[in-house]
Homo-oligomer: A and B are copies of this chain.
Amino acid sequence: MSTPTREIRLAARPHGEPRPTDFELVDVELPDPGADQVLIRNTYMSVDPYMRGRMNDVKSYTPPFQLGAALDGGAVGEVVASNAEGLAVGDVVVHQLGWREHAVLAGKHARKVDPQGLSPSAFLGVLGMPGLTAYAGLLDVAGLKDGDVVFVSGAAGAVGSLAGQIAKLRGHTVIGSAGSAEKVAHVIDDLGFDQAFNYKDGPVTEQLAAAAPDGIDVYFDNVGGEHLEAAIDAFNLHGRAALCGMISNYNATEPNPAPRNMMTLVGKRITLRGFIVTDHAARVKDLIAEVAPAVADGRIRFRETVREGLENAPQAFIDLLRGANTGKMVVKL
C-alpha cells in the first residue's frame, strides 16, 4: 500500500521576490513506513523568512533547496502509522518535513510533544523555533542583564513579539519597531512593549532616538540595514546586538550599504553577534519551563496568521516576506 498525497517543490530559483511560478504543487505516492520509521499526517507547516535564503544556490548554514525537489521546514503532525519505538498512532510530533501533507521519516527525527490543551501550531511558534530563537538570542547571544533597555525590530513578527515579551517578563524597558500603525498598536496594547514606532513613518535613527532617549543596551535584530545602523547610533557603551535575521536584505539584488557607522562599534565597545537557533537546541527545556506557564496565564501572548491548504503555502510564504503576517505565519493542512 502507499499513501497518495501532495507536496510543494521548488520549480525555479527566485530572483528577488519569489513568484508563484517558482513553486509547483505535485501529487506523489508515499511508501509505507519502513523499519524504525513513522508516517505522519501534517496538520500545520511553518513558513519562515530563512527559507528564502535556501532558495538561492549558495552555500549557507543550511544547504540550499534543490530545484525540482520538495521544500522542507518545520511541521507538526499526527502519527498515522508507526514502526518506531516510543511513537504510537495519534501522537503529536514536531519534525522538519513540512511543505507536504504527509511525511515518512525515521522516528528519531520526530519529537513527540504534549499539546497541553494548546493548538499544535504552538509548537511551530511560541514553544517552537521562534520562541527558542527569541529566548536564546536574548539570554545567550545578547547576554541580557538586569536594567538593560531592549530594542526589538520586527516586533510584531513571530520572533520579535516573543523577544519583546520575554524581556518584559523579566522587567526590562522594551522598544519595538514594526511596519504599520496597526502593528505598532498591537505591540504596545497587546504585547505590552513600552514604546513602538512604524519604521515607515521616518528615518529609523530619528524614531529610535525619540523612543529611547537614554539609549539602548540590547538590540534584537530581525531586520538589518537601516535598523542596525540606528541601533548602533542608539547604543550605550557595551551595547550588544543579537543578529537573528536581516529581512531588509533577503530579497535584495544589490548589497545593502547600511550600516555605515561601523566605526562607532569601537568607541562604544559594541558587540554584534550573529546566531542560528539550531546551535541552541539544548535551551528548549528552559524555554518551555519559563515561557509555557506565562503563555498559560496570559502574560505572554502570541498571534498566528493561519492560511489554509498546502496549495496556498507558496503565497503564504510570499506574503510573509512582504510583512503580511501578524505573529507566526503557519499553514493549516
Bound Cα distance from A266 to B60, whole angstroms = 10
List the B side residues contacting A273 at CB < 8 Å.
265, 269-272
A90 within 8 A of B: no
Total interface residues on A, using CB and 8 Å? Answer: 33
List the B side residues contacting A266 at CB < 8 Å.
243-246, 274-276
The residue on B at minimum CB distance from A62 is: B267
Copies of this chain, complex-wide, total: 2
List the B side residues contacting A237 at CB < 8 Å.
61
- The A interface is mostly helix, strand or loop, or mixed, namely loop
The residue on B at minimum CB distance from A249 is: B263
List the B side residues contacting A200 at CB < 8 Å.
none
List the B side residues contacting A228 at CB < 8 Å.
262
Check A270–B274 contact: CB distance below 8 A. Answer: yes
A261 within 8 A of B: yes
The residue on B at minimum CB distance from A248 is: B263
List the B side residues contacting A274 at CB < 8 Å.
264-271
A279 within 8 A of B: yes
List the B side residues contacting A270 at CB < 8 Å.
273-274
25 contacts between A and B (CB under 8 A): A61-B268, A61-B269, A224-B262, A243-B265, A243-B266, A244-B266, A246-B262, A246-B263, A246-B266, A249-B262, A249-B263, A255-B260, A256-B260, A259-B262, A265-B272, A265-B273, A265-B274, A266-B276, A268-B274, A269-B273, A269-B274, A270-B274, A271-B271, A271-B272, A271-B274
Given contacts A244-B266, A249-B262, A259-B262, 6 further A-B pairs with CB under 8 A are A60-B267, A61-B269, A228-B262, A245-B266, A269-B279, A271-B271
